[in-house]
Structure 1
């Protein structure tokens, strides 16, 4: 499997190879990553050592620069450099905050009330949770007085107890309401985010969908919406913990500033460690997501090709292979998750042990010093709350960073590649603008990759130099206008369909210009071009709905009579009449319930219904039988009288019946003119069409449109034979048909032909001999005197 990951498994002999820079092997039955620079498990101590060395190097560099500027008496350069370094660092640090703020604004604008309720109740929960140390201070501070029987101590204790109970109840109430509001917010926000992404996808240029399957784009849409929801929830939770951290920090700073400073320092180290882990694993996680996408695609491919698997009796083998792919993917993910979690656990364990001892020592020292057990409860409770909320803040911040990375990585895949960027304008066209002018156009297709196969590195590298195929069109010039049906012919791969795609502005040309009327297509918007051009491609697309819906989608106000008239012109009316539900017949996903010919006829019916000034068709009658093909050609020729109709075709009958033929060879126009004229000089046309073929096909077309005339048809065949022409197979078959169905007419024509020939050569017709009456047969005598 080129481009996919392979492994050496204890049961399967696959050759290990790179997948986006990752190599995985089996060592003693256990999965391990090959020891490459990019794939090593990150080490925080090594990172800190390198970071400190880098800081020292930068400090030394700054000192040397400062000395140099002092010596030269000019400090401006050094200060400007410092300011620039600070600005770059600040810009990097604000990446996550800007992304979160963007998600907040989106949620505010698109969900409004739900967002306010969720954040409001969450803040209420945080405030009540942050008041816990004060309530503990009041509660435990009243215990000595209660034990000693001091007056009013009982009232103070019970008041503190009621306050604590009320605080907890209110906190639980806010938590419940915040949870319910969060559920509604997540659904509303996900729907709003998905619809926004869908709108973005629907505005992509058409070639984007040639390399990206709709299902894959739908998966990326879900990935982005999920990342936004996760980021929104995490940021709201982070804001909640920040409120708690702020209240507890204020409490602890008022009582024990040194301890508060220690907790703040530990929180900063934890956050630094989390940021390191996110950055260290970001590239690896991106590779793993791409790897997982590839595994799912390979398994989907196996399911799609079930008939092939069954034909070769490899069901069990393919099942084992699919299971092996999934096991490899999950095994690698587990390995990475385990290493990452182990690093987190080591750091958290070390911090917790140190801080627990520090908090207990500080609280005990304060009790010994003041003898106030309430302060002990305040210090210990505020310290624990500050440390726990700080730890949560650090974890949530790390999750926000990871969520930002996931969102950015997924969003980058939906950025329109530079290769497909086009210049558009806002000029307008009129119905009179039917002339198409292609002037010295050269073009080669850009190479674009499926977004689901991209890792983060590849997605970020898409802004580099555009790679292209070999040139398809080379300095091509041609014009099209209304007044006749034009057929564009040529062997496959010579640029016919490419030319039609460029006229529709699917791509920007590399050289030259294309005009519609007097406007260059780059001066027109996509909306204006879509309103001017009807395009029927070889691969037609339909909605999973009824025949009528698929027609009315292109002309919403069309009546049933207009729909049936369009179907009649496309030769689809008989099919509609056969459907049990008529126009309400459901055609299945992408027209799956229709035959290939019916799909093509329905697509043609849409073209006749839209009534746009320019019609471009790629193989319009493919899959149609002879009579239907002639019927469609009649409708196209009638349409071409008032519209510009261009038809890409390989069908000899369509070429023969066209008013004009344009031959494309090796990316250039090699011939242009009427088919009966070009047949004399163009070798490509002569390879599949003769002058007599053109006459025959036009005769059959006229017969199909105007009705059969046996006398005229027989005369044409006989005249051809008299001139020494060898009849084609189709003509000989037609001659036999005439003899069988119109014997008298054929004999009459034959007699007239002989008479004309003798008159022309001066030979008299032989005199008609009179029939002699039959003489009676004399009797023959028989022996015995009897008479016969």
Structure 2
């Protein structure tokens, strides 16, 4: 990594840290004040201790304070006790405040992350592995807390004590103080030289850990498939490769460098201490230094080296933390979905008229067009079925209507308003989708249905469930509507989840209804009941059905037939079946077993 890029990378990480700290100004003000108090108190401790020993070794010197006479060493002992008491009290309150800041950050960081992630475009979530994303967030959170608690709030106040210690050390003996300072500077220079190259290794290591976590998350969330194909051994080996062979091995090199740094620092400190004692003996014999002065200097050496030694130990936290924070920040700085474009148009009470004007769409450059010059109109209250083989653009078309993506060319109009200029919130509030693959929250059945309308009463939830014929199986549970459905709804069958999704759509009472083959996972008897519910739900509202089954297609007023991203036919079922050369006729024959 080039030098300028390293510096920019390093300062960026610290800017992020101090931005987080800006949210806790009151706490930081208290911590800073107490840090100054502690630094001043601790800064004088070695000097007092040195003077104490000199006072013991010298002829008794009586000092009277407030009318009380006592040996100098006794007054120094009292002063030492008061100083230590002040320092320890300040450190205690400081520690409480620092831990509070860490706890608040631990809570707010993931909260902020969730708030940001759910506001990112759907394209981001389709391109990323959920496990990898969340692993980056968690590592960024842990790194932020560690750096703030163990480095910023703990070490920063000690830097003032270092300056106080150096100043007093120079007053006691400039030459010995210079040796201490030279040792510290040499230590810092060594640290600065060795550490930066680790960044590249750390980034590589974090990528390996992120991928490993992403793979593990993927395996656990698909455990039913793993068991179905008896792939436990395969997934175990994959986890071993991800974590042990790749992630851990990539991190061994990083840990080796940190071990080397710790070794070098211990050697350097030992050499500095020996030099101080050697020269001190010489100066004591010359009468230029007292034993108390040596004791004080030794204390200041520890005081000066202490924060830098701790910084050396914590430098690993700093370096690893900055890499982790930077990777998390890549996600947290990703531009959010623009719900309200400039001068956004509100759709108000939506009628449900939809129009595509020469719409083309591609997911990215050089990825090929998914939709090519699509034009059609859907009238208010019309039921339209989208038909075609998998991958022809039906789901993409629905995503364009929902505003998840915007057309590369042409316009999508909702009630004659360009979707690029409308408030997405006002649009999506009036759309309900019943997907083919329903994913539920690990919550109660009632709360999952209420997702259609958070203000709905229990009675309205029950009504929606009855209309979707979901109450039949719900009432069989011991907890009924308070039954937890498990992660992603794993405790329910596919058909049961489908009926929950339909109940949710009924509760939403949308102006535009999108059905992705809602009866595909239901048995014939249930499909009959659901069909009646859907007929009622679709009445007088614009409905788009991604259709695969003939029974679903026949519910529509009009059918749009797609092939290779193009709209090639449209009409009623009867009209399209008559066109023997058309794709719909061929699909119909295959469906009824005549192909």
User: Normalised by the size of structure 2, how large is the TM-score?
Assistant: 0.85
Specify the SS of the correspondent of 2:321: helix
| C-alpha RMSD over aligned residues | 3.7
Matched, 1:277 2:203: no
Matched, 1:221 2:141: no
Point out the more displaced range, 493-502 or 428-437: 428-437
State the shift of 1:646 in Å: 0.7
State how many pairs are aligned: 583
| In structure 2, C-alpha distance between the alignment counterparts of 1:609 and 1:307, rounded to whole Å | 32
Q: How does 1:174-573 map to 2 (within 5 A)?
A: 174-233=90-149, 234-257=151-174, 259-261=176-178, 263-296=180-213, 327-328=244-245, 329-330=247-248, 332-346=250-264, 348-350=266-268, 352-354=270-272, 356-358=274-276, 360-361=278-279, 364-365=282-283, 368-370=286-288, 372-393=290-311, 396=314, 399-416=317-334, 424-425=341-342, 426-446=344-364, 468-573=366-471
The answer on whether the counterparts of 1:437 and 1:478 sit within 8 Å (CA) in structure 2 is yes
| In structure 1, C-alpha distance between the alignment counterparts of 2:479 and 2:7, rounded to whole Å | 66
The answer on whether the counterparts of 2:6 and 2:196 sit within 8 Å (CA) in structure 1 is no
The equivalent residue for 1:142 is: 55
Structure 1 residue runs of 5 or longer lacking an equivalent are: 1-37, 39-46, 52-84, 447-466, 694-727, 730-788
Aligned in 2, Cα 1:250/1:186: closer, same or farther, shift over 3 Å?
same
State the shift of 1:171 in Å: 3.2
Specify the SS of the correspondent of 1:664: strand
Point out the more displaced range, 189-198 or 513-522: 513-522
State the shift of 1:576 in Å: 3.5
| Higher radius of gyration, 1 or 2 | 1
| In structure 2, C-alpha distance between the alignment counterparts of 1:572 and 1:313, rounded to whole Å | 34
The equivalent residue for 1:689 is: 588
State the shift of 1:332 in Å: 5.0
| In structure 2, C-alpha distance between the alignment counterparts of 1:286 and 1:247, rounded to whole Å | 38
State the shift of 1:617 in Å: 1.6
| In structure 1, C-alpha distance between the alignment counterparts of 2:177 and 2:9, rounded to whole Å | 28
Aligned in 2, Cα 1:599/1:89: closer, same or farther, shift over 3 Å?
closer
Specify the SS of the correspondent of 1:671: strand
The equivalent residue for 2:40 is: 127
Point out the more displaced range, 306-315 or 341-350: 306-315
| In structure 2, C-alpha distance between the alignment counterparts of 1:634 and 1:220, rounded to whole Å | 47
| In structure 2, C-alpha distance between the alignment counterparts of 1:283 and 1:217, rounded to whole Å | 20
The answer on whether the counterparts of 2:202 and 2:323 sit within 8 Å (CA) in structure 1 is no
The answer on whether the counterparts of 1:441 and 1:476 sit within 8 Å (CA) in structure 2 is yes
Specify the SS of the correspondent of 2:71: helix
The answer on whether the counterparts of 2:51 and 2:292 sit within 8 Å (CA) in structure 1 is yes
The answer on whether the counterparts of 1:537 and 1:617 sit within 8 Å (CA) in structure 2 is yes
Which residue, out of 547, 555, 580, partners 1:657? 555
Aligned in 2, Cα 1:397/1:290: closer, same or farther, shift over 3 Å?
closer
Structure 2 residue runs of 5 or longer lacking an equivalent are: 64-68
Specify the SS of the correspondent of 2:197: helix
The answer on whether the counterparts of 2:131 and 2:214 sit within 8 Å (CA) in structure 1 is no
| In structure 2, C-alpha distance between the alignment counterparts of 1:684 and 1:373, rounded to whole Å | 101
State the shift of 1:282 in Å: 1.0
The equivalent residue for 1:698 is: none
Specify the SS of the correspondent of 2:578: coil
Specify the SS of the correspondent of 1:622: coil
The answer on whether the counterparts of 1:482 and 1:640 sit within 8 Å (CA) in structure 2 is no
| In structure 2, C-alpha distance between the alignment counterparts of 1:413 and 1:481, rounded to whole Å | 41
The answer on whether the counterparts of 1:445 and 1:471 sit within 8 Å (CA) in structure 2 is yes
Higher RCO (CA < 8 A, seq sep 6+): 2
State the shift of 1:492 in Å: 0.7
Specify the SS of the correspondent of 1:204: coil
The equivalent residue for 1:20 is: none
Matched, 1:168 2:67: no
| In structure 2, C-alpha distance between the alignment counterparts of 1:313 and 1:214, rounded to whole Å | 22
State the shift of 1:91 in Å: 6.3
Specify the SS of the correspondent of 1:591: coil
State the shift of 1:408 in Å: 0.9
Aligned in 2, Cα 1:159/1:548: closer, same or farther, shift over 3 Å?
same
Q: Could you list the per-position Cα deviations for residues 457-481 of structure 1 after superposition, in whole angstroms to 9, with x for gaps in the alignment?
A: xxxxxxxxxx553321112122223
Q: Could you list the per-position Cα deviations for residues 555-582 of structure 1 after superposition, in whole angstroms to 9, with x for gaps in the alignment?
A: 1332344333323432334333444444
The answer on whether the counterparts of 1:434 and 1:481 sit within 8 Å (CA) in structure 2 is yes
| In structure 2, C-alpha distance between the alignment counterparts of 1:214 and 1:521, rounded to whole Å | 29
Matched, 1:584 2:482: yes
The equivalent residue for 1:3 is: none
The answer on whether the counterparts of 1:107 and 1:189 sit within 8 Å (CA) in structure 2 is no
The equivalent residue for 1:713 is: none
Aligned in 2, Cα 1:359/1:474: closer, same or farther, shift over 3 Å?
farther
Matched, 1:100 2:13: no
Matched, 1:642 2:540: yes
The answer on whether the counterparts of 2:206 and 2:324 sit within 8 Å (CA) in structure 1 is no
The answer on whether the counterparts of 1:422 and 1:508 sit within 8 Å (CA) in structure 2 is no
Q: Could you list the per-position Cα deviations for residues 484-510 of structure 1 after superposition, in whole angstroms to 9, with x for gaps in the alignment?
A: 211111111100011101111212322
| In structure 1, C-alpha distance between the alignment counterparts of 2:101 and 2:139, rounded to whole Å | 18
The equivalent residue for 1:594 is: 492
Point out the more displaced range, 389-398 or 134-143: 389-398
State the shift of 1:637 in Å: 4.2
User: Normalised by the size of structure 1, how large is the TM-score?
Assistant: 0.66
| In structure 1, C-alpha distance between the alignment counterparts of 2:140 and 2:54, rounded to whole Å | 52
| In structure 2, C-alpha distance between the alignment counterparts of 1:248 and 1:265, rounded to whole Å | 14
State the shift of 1:193 in Å: 1.6
The equivalent residue for 2:66 is: none
Aligned in 2, Cα 1:572/1:300: closer, same or farther, shift over 3 Å?
closer
State the shift of 1:337 in Å: 1.3
Specify the SS of the correspondent of 1:541: coil
